[in-house]
Amino acid sequence: MARITVFDTTLRDGEQSPGCTMTPSEKLRMAHQLEELGVDVIEAGFPIASDTDFDAVGTIAREIREPVIAALARATAGDIDRAGHAVEGARRSRIHTFIATSDIHLERKLGIGREECLERAAAAVARACRFTDDVEFSAEDATRTDLDFLCAVITAAVEAGATTVNIPDTVGYTFPAEFRDTLRELVARVPGLGGEVVLSVHCHDDLGLAVANSLAGLDAGARQVECTINGIGERAGNASLEEIVMALKVRADINEHFTEVNAEELYPTSRLLSETIGVMPQPNKAIVGDNAFAHAAGIHQHGMLSDRATYEIMTPETVGAPPTQLVLGKHSGRHALRHRYEKLGHDLTHEEMAEASRYCTDLAERRIDVTDEALLSILRRIKGGEGGAGESRGVQGRSADRVYR
């Protein structure tokens, strides 16, 4: 079994998402929660970006003691010195330096050739080693970089002292099988990579493949995965931390990797981030979305009432989420409706159940919430022998609290 280092970049790459900027105090609060979650590395920010980010990284480095605290730096002396000073108060510090390596980035963005790229990469790593013995090097846009040149750059970084080498799929371009092959080739051709030098992956989700590519990277020998809470990050986001952690946990039968993340803190961490930045994950987001443990179809609800394992491959309790929801709607069956009434303390006859089901379907088709209060109102109406659901078809709105009274 191989232990995977979880490198969380929510506070750096994640914060780059439009609308997801955090104040220093908010970043510190999130860092405390990430420590509670049990991540191994927290990339706290990009110190050269602003005095505020420099101060935030410094505060996190001094207050958060368990994880490694990393700071990002371009392959320039100024960036590296600034990062080194920002993390100098950390119990365990890391400088993460990077340079673009693909031809399109070299030519169009940096305006340099391959030889200068090699020189800058080696010089940056060597300078970072003055501040810490934990130096990570990333080849930006690695998956669109010529493989021979990528091997040369990584070799130069390793010879200069890099202890971790990260292979980013910066623009979310690669496919899992392709990524796996690339990483295996790198491990075969770069001395020490995947052994004494940790191989890391950092995948973006532009094609919706960030998590799949990250898992493929682990298959190829990566032992560090870079990810964010709720998958936030540039453009379509980063690989989702909670999805990677739970994929390894749930499918332990077919993989040899594990993390030491406290899974029960996944949902609380997701919610804290959402409250902090004001951006909620989409309802159908895996693991932490509102619908992740909600069941609306009658067939599914019947199965869940018989045995949760029929439709849940993990329980909400495993990730610290609220209990399973059997959502009453037009697709629900009578098993779920009877179950809900029993929870409310009412045992309905067959005839009462049939009528209650018609009322609930009527509400659901008009997009009115079938709340517990609505169910009790329906029951009072049935018991009182008052008309049918059709009498209230003119009622508008999403709350049914006052509909059947």
Q: What is the mean pLDDT of residues 379-399?
A: 51
Q: What is the mean pLDDT of residues 39-67?
A: 98
**Hunting for tokens 């610290």 — which residue is that?**
320
- Asked if pLDDT for residue 391 goes beyond 50, the answer is no
Helix (H) or strand (E) holding 326: strand 325-326
Residue 216 near residue 188 (C-beta atoms within 8 A): no
**Hunting for tokens 């392959």 — which residue is that?**
75
- How far is 389 from 191, CA to CA, in rounded Å? 74
Digit-coded pLDDT (tens) for 347-368? 888 888 887 778 777 776 776 5
pLDDT of residue 316: 87
- Asked if pLDDT for residue 399 goes beyond 90, the answer is no
- Asked if pLDDT for residue 334 goes beyond 70, the answer is no
How would you class 17 by CB atoms within 10 Å of its CB: exposed for 0-12, middle for 13-18, buried for 19 or more? buried
- How far is 213 from 215, CA to CA, in rounded Å? 5
pLDDT of residue 306: 60
pLDDT of residue 7: 98
Q: Which domains does the chain have, with CATH numbers?
A: 2-277 (3.20.20.70), 294-392 (no CATH)
Digit-coded pLDDT (tens) for 166-209? 999 999 999 999 999 999 999 999 999 999 999 999 999 999 99
Residue 336: Cβ within 10 Å count: 24
Tokens of 387: 């008309």
- How far is 141 from 320, CA to CA, in rounded Å? 36
pLDDT of residue 367: 63
Give the residue with greater pLDDT, 5 vs 395: 5
- How far is 392 from 34, CA to CA, in rounded Å? 50
pLDDT of residue 387: 42
Digit-coded pLDDT (tens) for 103-150? 999 999 999 999 999 999 999 999 999 999 999 999 999 999 999 999
**Hunting for tokens 């059709």 — which residue is that?**
390
Digit-coded pLDDT (tens) for 265-275? 999 999 999 99
pLDDT of residue 370: 66
pLDDT of residue 332: 61
Residue 139 near residue 173 (C-beta atoms within 8 A): no
Q: How many residues does the chain have?
A: 405
Residue 117, CB-side half-sphere exposure with 13 Å CA sphere: 28
pLDDT of residue 299: 53
User: Cα Rg for the chain, rounded, in angstroms?
Assistant: 26
Average pLDDT, the chain: 88
Inter-CA distances, 141 with 82, 146, 258, Å: 24, 10, 27
Q: What is the mean pLDDT of residues 61-86?
A: 98
Digit-coded pLDDT (tens) for 284-306? 999 998 777 665 555 555 554 56
Phi, psi of 70 (to 5 degrees): -110, 150
User: b/e string for 255-284 if b means 16 or more Cβ within 10 A?
Assistant: bebebebebebbbbbbbbbbebbeebbeee
Digit-coded pLDDT (tens) for 208-255? 999 999 999 999 999 999 999 999 999 999 999 999 999 999 999 999
pLDDT of residue 308: 62
pTM: 0.83
Tokens of 111: 């305006």
**Hunting for tokens 């392709």 — which residue is that?**
178
pLDDT of residue 393: 35
Distance of CA 363 to the CA centre of its chain: 36
